[in-house]
Amino acid sequence: MNLVDINTFLSRNPKIGEEKNVLMDYQTLNVNQKIVFERIESHYHNMFEGRQDEPLRIIVMGTAGTGKTYLIEAIRCRLREMAGESKSPIAVLALTGVAAFNTEGITIHSGLSILIVNNANCLDISGKRLKQLQDKLKDVSYVIIDEKSIVSRRILAIIDKRLRQAFPEHNNEPFGGSGIAAYKQFKEVYKLEIVQRQSGNSKEQQNFRNILLRLRNGESTIDDWKILTT
């Protein structure tokens, strides 16, 4: 597949604001998940009522199994409910196709109309393409970026520039005035510390959680390898 085919394929991916409807029981969120959920819910309610003038920018931290994907789905579902007949006010983006698939989102390149070419022209956008991007994002108030650990500063700068282009009335504001949930340098940090998939307190479960943490940080030991291969 050549570059032209790739960019055509990306343009045909699922569109922002057209996610399928999902019913969720928000009481199933744990304590830490509810803190993030209610913070975003409250922010959107205030903005919807015209009482919010500062974009929400937060980071949600958590290791594998702490329920980040479940929280993303809960937030998306709730904001869609609050938006009523309007399109969903949230866009869920990820750098890789696998990460986007896991959250039922879309890739950063597809969502923000960034061409897959390795030169400065990949950010050029004008005319019809720019109008299509602005129409696609016109109802979006929040952008969630999953798997922030693999998003480089360069990609972050590209996201910032593209959102300024998408919202020209806010082109002097970071990220075009959009709310962002993902990055360490932002104002609010929330941690999802409970590993939902291995939340027991037995010695074996604690050891397994420690193995996963070392694996994530690139600090695995020979003993870890032996356990994982048995």
Q: Which amino acid is at 169?
A: E
Mean pLDDT per 10-residue section of the chain, whose length is 230 residues: 47 55 82 90 88 81 76 92 87 85 85 76 81 91 85 87 92 88 53 52 71 72 79
- pLDDT value at residue 164: 93
The CATH number given to whatever domain includes residue 60 is 3.40.50.300
Number of domains in the chain: 2
Is 7 found in the same domain as 43? yes
Do residues 167 and 177 make contact, with C-beta atoms less than 8 angstroms apart?
yes
Residue 65's alpha-carbon distances to 68, 70, 195, 200, in angstroms, are 8, 10, 5, 12
Do residues 91 and 16 make contact, with C-beta atoms less than 8 angstroms apart?
yes
Is 132 found in the same domain as 78? yes
pTM: 0.70
DSSP helix/strand/coil, 51: coil
Is 225 found in the same domain as 171? no
Is 86 found in the same domain as 19? yes
Structural domain boundaries, residue 223: 201-230
Residue 202: what are its φ and ψ, rounded to 5°?
-70, 160
For the chain, give the longest Cα–Cα distance.
61
Measured at the CA of 132, the angle between CA 129 and CA 136, to 5 degrees, comes to 140
Is 193 found in the same domain as 93? yes
Is 227 found in the same domain as 148? no
Q: Which amino acid is at 109?
A: H
Is 230 found in the same domain as 129? no
Q: What is the pLDDT of residues 136-166, one digit of tens each?
A: 999 999 999 888 777 888 888 889 999 999 9
- pLDDT value at residue 14: 55
Residue 44's alpha-carbon distances to 37, 51, 92, 121, 179, in angstroms, are 11, 10, 16, 35, 10
Taking the CA atoms of 189, 138, 89 and 63 in sequence, report the sign of the dihedral they define: negative
Is 89 found in the same domain as 129? yes
Is 38 found in the same domain as 121? yes
Is 150 found in the same domain as 222? no
d(Cα 13, Cα 142) in Å, to the nearest integer? 20
